[in-house]
Amino acid sequence: MTNIGILGAGRVGTNLAGKLSAAGHHVTLGSRNPEDTAARATGLAPRIAFADERTTARTTDIVINATPGDSSLDRLTALRAELAGKILVDVSNATRDSADGLPGDLCHPGSSLAEKLQARLPDTHVVKTLNTMLFMVMTAPETLATPPTAYLSGDGEDAKKTVTGLLGDLGWQPEWIEDLGDITTARATEAMILIVPHILRRHGFTPFAVSLAR
Ligand SMILES: NC(=O)c1ccc[n+]([C@@H]2O[C@H](COP(=O)([O-])OP(=O)(O)OC[C@H]3O[C@@H](n4cnc5c(N)ncnc54)[C@H](OP(=O)(O)O)[C@@H]3O)[C@@H](O)[C@H]2O)c1
């Protein structure tokens, strides 16, 4: 059992919280207004705890960033002390919206949010994963007709090993996990978001992942 904190109580955060808690982990869902979140997420209580973002980062061992990517850099940099020595699993996408509200462009072209987070949080092991699929696939990869891919990017080999274990708890088979290398490889997987709005406009929110086929 690991003490896992999840920042952001939206679709991604609550979905991950439910599955990781069911897998036996102690989960704290961190949000800007924990009381409102607890009242909303009645299906998750009492199995998981609710706290503000700073308390969540301070009191847990692995922290997942499931907050809006375009503002994540400042939000997480402010938690530098709380995140020191921990693994930060970044599943966010840092994009600017198009007129229809879907992701339009990258906030960090020529770089990535994950690289910038690692630079701002030198005492934290940043691992990028799961940002290349709709949220429901993150916790139910076996439901797709074609086996999906979960990419991993990060400088710390031990940290990536730990995150691989968590992916297993979410239902990911080892052969579906592709370790691309160090944190600079997140530049490639963050850019994959550019295909997502086009798929959504054609097919709606039907579950999919941007995967490798061999
Ligand atoms: N939706 C997907 O299918 C999907 C797939 C892959 C990656 N992602 C990425 O995962 C992250 C979360 O996505 P999501 O779909 O769960 O988003 P969402 O439903 O909009 O939830 C994001 C949550 O972040 C929290 N938050 C903290 N600071 C915020 C701020 N300044 N402005 C707005 N919200 C703030 C909010 O929770 P509180 O109000 O409770 O604090 C909010 O519920 C995003 O970076 C997204 O790009 C999403």
pLDDT digits (tens, 9 = 90+) for 20-37: 999 999 999 999 999 999
Q: Tokens 């991950």: give the residue.
A: 16
User: Could you tell me the end-to-end alpha-carbon distance of the chain, in angstroms, rounded to an integer?
Assistant: 35
User: Is the pLDDT score of 44 beyond 90?
Assistant: no
User: Is the pLDDT score of 45 beyond 80?
Assistant: no
Residue 33 CA, ligand 1 centroid: distance in Å: 14
3-state secondary structure of 62: strand
* pLDDT attached to residue 60: 98
The tokens of 92 are what? Answer: 């966010």
- At 124-176, the pLDDT tens digits run 999 999 999 999 999 999 999 999 999 999 999 999 999 999 999 999 999 99
- One-letter amino acid at 155 equals D
Residue 53's pLDDT band, with cuts at 50, 70 and 90, is very high
Enclosing H/E stretch for 137: helix 135-138
- At 61-83, the pLDDT tens digits run 999 999 999 999 999 999 999 99
> Could you give the percent of the chain with pLDDT greater than 70?
100
Distance, CA of 21 to CA of 16 (rounded, Å): 8
Residue 214 CA, ligand 1 centroid: distance in Å: 32
CB distance 192 to ligand 1 below 6 Å: no
Q: Supply the mean pLDDT for the chain.
A: 97
Q: Half-sphere exposure of 121 toward its Cβ, with a 13 Å CA cutoff?
A: 33
- Closest residue to atom 43 of ligand 1, CA basis: 10
CA distances from 200 to 37, 104, 150, 158, 194 (A): 28, 12, 20, 35, 11
**What is the atom index within ligand 1 of the atom nearest the CA of 92?**
45
Mutate to test the pocket of ligand 1, among 31, 53, 67 (most ligand atoms within 8 A of CB): 67
Give the distance from CA 53 to its chain's centroid. 15
